[in-house]
A and B are shown apart, each in its own frame.
Chain A
Amino acid sequence: MHLGVSESMRECEYSQISTRSSTPMETPYKKRTPKKRKWEIFPGRNKFYCDGRIMMAKQTGVFYLTLILILVTCGLFFTFDCPFLAQQLTPVIPVIGGVLFLFVLGTLLRTSFSDPGVLPRASPDEAADLERQIDVANGGTGYRPPPRTKEVVINGQTVKLKYCFTCKIFRPPRASHCSLCDNCVERFDHHCPWVGNCVGRRNYRFFYMFILSLSFLTIFIFAFVITHIILSSHQNGFLSALKNSPARYPFTVPLVVCFFSVWSIVGLSGFHTYLISSNQTTNEDIKGSWSSKRGKDNYNPYSYGNIFTNCCAALCGPLPPSLIDRRGFVEADVPQLAPPTNGITIYGSTQSQQSHTCDQDQCIQSTKFVLQAAATPLLQHQSSEPVILTTSPENGGTLPGRASLALTGPCTSLPLGQPTPPTSTSSLSCHEAADNNPLQESLFQHHFLTPEEVPSPPGMLHCGSPMGHSHTTQAGFYDPASQDSLHEDSVRGLVKLSSV
């Protein structure tokens, strides 16, 4: 593509943004560096396995305990009790037991490994836009007001939507932020340590199926172990049946485990059956959100009215897809817009006539302008840009615990976009320059950090310590006249990344 006069000087190979690509994964350009998958830079406190296919909470110790309890109990049951029962009663018993066991295991793994309905964090553009709207609503006072809420009327009931400061979104109704996983989860039920994951919209039915089938399984095992003891004692006497060495543990372990499990699991199943039939979440029930004790007119606006529909909706309704796209690729090498000083604004290309040196400080400079631009209210000709801070790898340790994903685009491309050495010829493109400059490669390892305060009003704007260079941005810091085009282009380039 040639864009005009300046193009003749540029032989650059830049990536074309394909309108056909509906997912960031499909961008058609050559890979230069190993692309990262989105799960690798996921901002929440989750653990991922199998290259992003499996997603769990951070603490999984109790989950392994659950697994061990189930496996050991069932193992003992199948090894010691089933042969006897199959012989004495019917071989159907082990078969049913086997089916139940497999179902329990399947639903447990499905609950534990799937995405509960995590809401991805807002992109910097969105966050900035929301902040602006909130500011306008608050009269533009310029300081952070008390917790932000929005009221909405759902089916005649007023529901308050809270603003999540971590995810920078207004939480949809019934969503809640899990402090253990540090994510907002849709239709948040609770965080279950036994399954090692949150229980939310996408895995609630698996969780329910798990506890239901586990109840049946524990009752089943409990009943048949007792049957085994009774039948054995008829033959040999009660005490000798128990004392019988190889059979002692197979009796006692399943018995004890099942006895305690029955009360807790069956109780839990009953509780969740009630929740499903009234279409409430554990969260809502505990808080008493829809309880009539709160007020005469308080009712659950999400309930369909009858138990059957509520149950069907919860268990057989459509399964929404995961919103976080764990296995998608992070856009890492879209050619970056160099901030040209000559005012030619070419989107997505490298301006070759640069009067500045393209070293890291310069790149930080342009990033600063971006931050400032983000801080100022959106003027008619300014873009709302994603604000990105990059950190050098050695600063990784000083980063706050959560490195939020600023955008799906590669923010490193901004600093990397101007790798041209001072004496470069005009024919250098950013890609070619990228090849020349070994610094590029190390910078690609940057983490993307959402500057938590960036989208807020100028007074609040500051860069956190993660910046490898201790610069701070203050509003009004730069001379708008000369830097306008400079920052406009750097901003444009950044925005382009997020718009792929």
Chain B
Amino acid sequence: MAETHSLQDMRQQAAITAKVFIQRDYSSGTMCQFQTKFPSELENRIDKQQFEETVRALNNMYAEAEKLGSQSYIEGCLACLTAYTVFLCMETHYEKVLKKIAKYIQEQNDKIYAPRGLLLTDPIERGLRVVEITIFEDRSLTR
């Protein structure tokens, strides 16, 4: 059987050895940011740089979602004037960014994390509390 590193294969074959949780970083207030500290469990799995880049990109996207700019003000005022019924037809800016984040995580998983036996879980599925990284058993040695 050909060795594959696709995520589907991995999830069906590999065993979970551990889960790492990247906690929230509250040093800049209540904004959604995650700690960029590199967890020791990932040391032999992935580059520190790569990991930090991923987390920083996520942080930037969340910052964009919660940014107080003219766009959010216009959206807020429009919503207020229409008694918030406008959200029945339109997506909020935050929701749009969340979709972007989901796509980004998917992409990161496919390209970078799955080949290394890791899996990122979208923080929204954990209530924006943590970034859950599942570490799978390294099968490349046992094959």
Please give the residue numbers on chain A whose beta carbons come within 8 Å of chain B beta carbons, in ascending order.
Answer: 1-4, 16-20, 22-24, 102-103, 106-107, 110, 119-120, 122-123, 125-126, 129-130, 152-155, 159, 161, 169-170, 172-174, 186-187, 205-206, 209, 301-302, 309, 312-313, 315-321, 323-324, 345-349, 378, 380-384, 408, 488, 492, 495-496, 499
Contacts and interface: CB of A to CB of B under 8 A. Distances in A.
A102 B127 contact: no
A488 B126 CA distance: 24
Contact of B29 (A1, A155, A323, A499): A155
B132 to A, nearest CB: 7
A283 B123 CA distance: 28
B30 A173 contact: yes
B9 interface: yes
13 contacts: A1-B12, A16-B12, A20-B106, A106-B84, A122-B129, A153-B27, A155-B28, A321-B124, A323-B124, A347-B14, A382-B17, A495-B19, A496-B11
Contact of A126 (B80, B119, B130): B130
Contacts of A120: 126-127, 129
A102 B85 CA distance: 12
Given A16-B8, A347-B15, 15 more contacts: A103-B83, A126-B21, A126-B129, A126-B130, A154-B28, A172-B26, A174-B30, A301-B29, A302-B30, A313-B68, A317-B68, A318-B92, A495-B16, A496-B11, A499-B121
A113 to B, nearest CB: 11
B27 A152 contact: yes
Given A19-B7, A383-B17, A499 B134 contact: yes
Contacts of B27: 152-154
A321 B95 contact: yes
Contact of A19 (B11, B21, B29): B11
A204 B57 CA distance: 30
Nearest to A20: B106
Contact of A348 (B1, B11, B19): B11
Given A154-B27, A318-B75, A323 B128 contact: yes
Nearest to B9: A1
B30 A172 contact: yes
B55 interface: no
A154 B109 contact: no
A19 B84 contact: no
Given A129-B21, A488-B15, A499-B134, A315 B76 contact: yes
A316 B29 contact: no
Q: Considering the complex of A and B, which 4 residue pairs feature the smallest CB-CB distances, nearest first?
A: A316-B76, A120-B127, A323-B127, A106-B83
Given A119-B127, A321-B95, A4 B1 contact: yes
Nearest to B82: A106
A205 B125 CA distance: 25
Contacts of B14: 347
B8 A302 contact: no
Contacts of A22: 102, 105-106, 122, 125
A220 B95 CA distance: 38
Contact of A321 (B98, B119, B126, B132): B98
Contacts of A313: 68
A172 B85 CA distance: 30
Given A17-B8, A19-B7, A23-B125, A316 B73 contact: yes
Interface residues of B, number: 59
Contacts of A161: 26
Interface residues of A, dominant DSSP: loop
B78 to A, nearest CB: 9
Interface of B: 1, 7-9, 11-19, 21, 23-24, 26-30, 65-68, 72-73, 75-77, 79-80, 83-85, 87, 92-95, 98, 102, 105-106, 109-110, 114, 119, 121-122, 124-130, 132, 134
Nearest to A129: B21
A383 B16 contact: yes
Nearest to B123: A323
Given A126-B21, A318-B94, A152 B26 contact: yes
A120 B123 CA distance: 12
Nearest to A309: B68
Given A2-B1, A126-B129, A318 B13 contact: no
Nearest to B109: A19
A260 to B, nearest CB: 27
A351 B120 CA distance: 28
Given A17-B8, A19-B11, A384-B19, A499 B127 contact: no
Contacts of B18: 378, 380, 382-384
A330 B68 CA distance: 35
Nearest to B129: A169
Contacts of A1: 8-9, 12
A110 B86 CA distance: 13
Contacts of B66: 317-318, 320
Nearest to B76: A316
- Max chain B Cβ within 10 angstroms of own Cβ: one of A1, A22, A169, A321: A22
B71 to A, nearest CB: 9
A18 B8 contact: yes
A145 B98 CA distance: 38
Contacts of A2: 1
A162 to B, nearest CB: 13
Nearest to A328: B125
Contacts of B17: 380-383
A119 B93 contact: no
